[in-house]
Amino acid sequence: MKVEKAGYCAHVLFALVITILMCSGAAAQDEARLVLKTEVAKEIRVKEGNAWIMKYVPVEVTKPGDVLFYRITYFNEGTAPAVGAVIADPVPEGTVYLPDSAIGSNTAISFSIDGGNTYQRPPVLYVVVKPDGSKEEKEAPPEMYTHIRWMTGMPVPPGHSGELGFKVRVK
């Protein structure tokens, strides 16, 4: 099963329904239907009493340096388990992924530096051809990340949900 979510505006909340058919025999078909909802919030520091805490507020305006948290909620509205779900999301344009901020229980998280064509688990490596023709493998900095992908490790039963997320900094 593969679920790909299209690009989205950083200030819009939306849901995308993906239907996947699961065959359990020649005559019977059950359907797994993952519904995805993406929300974005701005991370701010506020003082409460004697302590500074992090809070998330609705995004109205962003400026360079702001940290945004993207939360993707998935829910199986279908009648069959969603097995092997893959959810991919682009790093929003004008932002940089914050290292170690991608979350998702029971998922394998990987990253792309080539527009979502290939994915690697960290460290993400790429090859540089030197002027003398030799090749050197380098670790990609977060500025090179274009997409994040989550692969569910467990089936998502009908009626069950989960959350994924990641942080970015506005350029």
Six-digit token string for 159: 């009626």
Q: How far apart are CA 39 and CA 111, in angstroms?
A: 20
Number of domains in the chain: 1
Six-digit token string for 17: 């329904």
CB 169 within 8 A of CB 98: yes
Is residue 40 pLDDT above 60, yes or no? Answer: yes
Query: Quick one: average pLDDT of 10-39?
Result: 56
pLDDT in tens, 50-104: 999 999 999 999 999 999 999 999 999 999 999 999 999 999 999 999 999 999 9
Q: Which domain holds residue 50?
A: 3-170
Residue 125 CA: distances (Å) to CA of 109, 116, 150, 152 = 15, 15, 18, 23
Q: Which of 85, 117, 79, 118 is nearest to 104 (CA)?
A: 85
Q: What is the model's pLDDT at position 29?
A: 75
Q: What is the model's pLDDT at position 30?
A: 83
The model's pTM: 0.81
Mean pLDDT of the chain: 86
